[in-house]
Amino acid sequence: MFLELLKQEIEQHQLLKQGETVLVGVSGGPDSIALLHGLHQLSPDYGWSLFVIHVNHQLRGKESDEDAHYVEDCCEKWNIPCRIERVDVSGVIAAGGGNKQATARRLRYEAFQNAAESFNADKLALAHHADDQAETILMRFIRGTGVAGLKGMDRVRSWNGIQLIRPLLGISRQEIESYCAERDLHPRFDQSNLSLTYTRNQVRLQLIPMLTTYNPQVKEAILQLSEVVREEEKVWDQLVQDAFKEILVKKSDSSITLDVSSFLHFPVALQRRIVKLILSCLLRQGTSEATLDSIEQVRKVSIHKNPSVSIDLPGRIKVEREYQLLRIKVLGRANGQKQEKAGAEPVVLSVPGVTSLPGFVGRIEIIVSDQPIHSLQPCRDWTVFDAEKIRPPLLVRSRRPGDRMTCYGLNGTKKLKNLFIDAKIPRQSRDSYPIVTADEDIIWVPGVRRSNKAIVTPETKHFLYCLWYTD
């Protein structure tokens, strides 16, 4: 019965192909021994090459060593290459702290990866079964999870260049233990599985039996929910990907920028999933997770009444709102201090002529004419001055703290910072905007404002045109 179920799981979900190399994680317990033995029995028909990795966490003294010897003996009997890895969980925790189970898992998966590379494996097969799935879903529910968390563990997922598969995910613990007894396998038993110190054991030994008094088929109901959610999540995944592409403005390995108006047009449920997708992408190399609190913080920034606001999130994530742009980025690992960016070197403008602007946005063309020009070639922005009232040279520089300018049409001066805000220029772009000066006075900020210096009048005889190109 077990072998038929295992074969059905593999074929129905296309977990393994003919002739693949399979690394099997084997602890020595009933689940992993049944999986290994079952794959060994089926392998002649499929041409699989089997290898075993056993990780000795050295947490149970002599028992841990006996587990390793048992796995070695099974592999020798079945003629399966075996690799035993010893990891010092207690030593790692003593040196750097941490949770025992989390540390053991991290070291275990590091050992899996090393073995997978050594054996050139196509797949890593793990022995999580249907009861594990039900326990995982309940634990997620208790701790707090989104809908996607209710699908539980995946049967197949990409992992460090190979695929991680769980061929027993549709098979119960009872069927596994019956198979071990029928085949006289005598698997090892980990006494720590009876300890109520661990949440999973509490769920398995206390919560599920209690829930069974309300519904004898409670595990089956949980697994059915898992399958329903799994299929619905496939639809959601496509909706989220399509919506993300629609609102994406710019993307890099460390930063993603969205259009705020388009983002807020979506229903809240879709907004949350888009943010979760982005945070998960940016956090993929870290240890933090995209929590609901972080997701809601991002949404609050997107609807904040202040059009220029930012917050910091766990995992070195920074979220910035700049008018109609929402930028989510992961900060560099060094120090976490904001890097001071030196302004670009001042540039002398050719009069007349076209001047490129290294370190600034675009280029500027100066045209001097004895007559007004009524038809200028297309450009991003332009202005005109009375040439006789401008003292050369004309310089382009970056903004400076305290910069002010006299604005055409306004009395007095205004802070350059406020002019940028009025023009809705994102903070990150302001250092690269060219500031055009003459005789140390700011006379023009392309795309923002011109000053009231050298205004053209009916008496003007020589015209100085400034054109800004950003193409």
Q: What is the pLDDT of residues 290-318, one digit of tens each?
A: 788 889 999 999 998 887 888 888 878 89
Q: Is 81 annotated as ligand-binding?
A: no
Bridge-based pairing state of the strands 463-469 and 381-386: antiparallel
- The pLDDT score that the predictor gives to residue 343 is 59
Judge if 260 and 172 occupy the same domain: no
Share of the chain above pLDDT 90, in %: 61
Q: Between these two residues, 286 and 106, which has the higher pLDDT value?
A: 106
Q: 132 and 94, same structural domain?
A: yes
Residues 310 and 358 in one domain: no
For residues 411 and 309, membership in a common domain is answered with no
pLDDT for residue 261 is more than 50? yes
- The two three-digit tokens of residue 35, written as one number: 């999986």
Distance of CA 469 to the CA centre of its chain: 36
Domain for residue 411, yes or no?
A: yes
The residues facing 320 across adjacent strands are 310, 327
**Given a cut of 50, is residue 286 above it in pLDDT?**
no
Instruction: Let me know whether 296 and 375 are in one domain.
Output: no
* CATH code of the domain containing 300: 3.30.465.60
If asked whether residues 310 and 441 sit together in one domain, one would say no
The answer to whether the annotation marks 31 as part of a ligand binding site is: yes
Q: Give the residue numbers spanning the domain of 310.
A: 252-330
- Residue 284 binned pLDDT confidence (cut-offs 50, 70, 90): low
| Total length of the chain | 471
Q: Is the same domain home to 122 and 90?
A: yes
Q: Residue 339: inside a domain, yes or no?
A: no
Tally of domains in the chain: 3
346 annotated to a ligand binding site:
no
Q: Which CATH number do you get for residue 369? A: 3.50.40.10
- The amino acid at residue 20 is E
Residue 336 lies in a domain: no
Q: Would you say residue 445 lies in a domain?
A: yes
Q: Is residue 33 part of a domain?
A: yes
Could you tell me if residue 148 is inside a domain?
Answer: yes
Contact 313, 294 (CB under 8 A): yes
CATH code (residue 213): 3.40.50.620
> Cβ atoms within 10 A of the Cβ of 154, count?
12
Q: Are residues 356 and 303 in the same domain?
A: no
Domain boundary among 330, 359, 379: 330
- Residue 109, in any domain of the structure: yes
Annotation-wise, does 28 bind a ligand? yes
Residue 349 CB partners (closer than 8 Å, separation 6+): 355, 364, 366, 393, 394, 395, 396, 436
User: Is 136 within the bounds of a domain?
Assistant: yes
Kindly report the average pLDDT of the chain as a whole number.
89
- Tell which residue, 141, 145, 136, has the closest CA to residue 200: 136
21, 115 contact by CB (below 8 A): no
Lowest mean pLDDT of 57-61, 260-264, 372-376, name the range.
Answer: 372-376
State CA 161 to chain mean position distance: 17
The two three-digit tokens of residue 216, written as one number: 């004898």
CA pair distance 259, 49, nearest whole angstrom? 50
Q: Which of 223, 244, 268 is the last residue of a domain?
A: 223
Whether residue 29 is found in the same domain as residue 152: yes
Q: Is the pLDDT score of 337 beyond 60? A: no
Is 29 annotated for ligand binding? yes
Cα–Cα distance, 130 to 10 (Å, whole number): 15
Confidence tier at 323 by pLDDT (50, 70, 90) = confident
Q: What pLDDT score was predicted for residue 101? A: 84
